[in-house]
Structure 1
Amino acid sequence: VMGHVGLTPQSVHRMGGYRVQGKEEAQRQQLRDDARAVEEAGAFAVVLEGMPTDLAGEITEELTVPTIGIGAGPRCDGQILVMHDLLGLFEEFRPKFVKRFGELKRPVRDAIRAYADEVRRGKFPGREHSF
């Protein structure tokens, strides 16, 4: 099991939206406690999401399991981004912590349209794509 502490998208409405977690000292302590509890429960790693860099660094130093950051700065043991964000598949929404490593929305859309068109016209699959 991999734990997840900080901004948890499944709880975003309860947390008041997509907001950085751990700005206030009481919340910072709660996030530290949560990370330790997840580790003690047997998690092999902990995702730290949407929290200040210094807090993520402190948690990383306190834990013996690796931390994986997403919007938690460079001091985590590893990093992750949502594939759709890093490939630039959505133009309308870009969290502050996302760096786009490609702009693939148009070519992906064009490829899917070409596929659907060939299926509708009976061109795909052809003999060369069949057993």
Structure 2
Amino acid sequence: MTCRVQRRISLRRKLHILRTLANSNNSLKGKRRSIVYIYKLKVALESIKREYENAVSLKKEVVKVEKVKGGRFVVRIKCEKGKGKEGEKLVSILEAFEEMSVNVENAKVSCEGGFSMDAIIAVAQENDKTLDVTHLTEALLKAIEKQSE
């Protein structure tokens, strides 16, 4: 969640810099410099657009993790219907749970109109202090991203 916010902030900052550069009245000497300047702006703008589109595509995948009693978490995942297969998303999410050494106590999965999953997971006592909501959220987002690539 924080990664997306940081990406958006950096994208906005870059767009602001590009706008100020484009609107500034720098005295450019010669047509060659102005052509190079415009080309650099164009390339920078295209890369920022690509980054923004990637950030927006990540927004389509919603991962919410809430901590409940003890070492238990409620995980809600919703993904819009995309290019990837929903069954593969489930496999990558379960592999991420296995890597984090958590047990799925109860899960409800639906692939109708996209992928959604509601699960209750239990963390082993030795991992209880190392795993928190942000760590679980980031790990699940990485698993979904890895699957969609």
The answer to which structure has the higher strand fraction is 2
TM-score per shorter chain, which class? under 0.3
Q: Specify the structure having the higher radius of gyration (Cα).
A: 2
Q: Could you tell me the TM-score, scaled by structure 1's length?
A: 0.23
Q: Could you tell me the TM-score, scaled by structure 2's length?
A: 0.21
User: Could you say which structure has the greater relative contact order, defined with CA pairs below 8 angstroms and 6 or more residues apart?
Assistant: 2
The answer to which structure has the higher helix fraction is 2
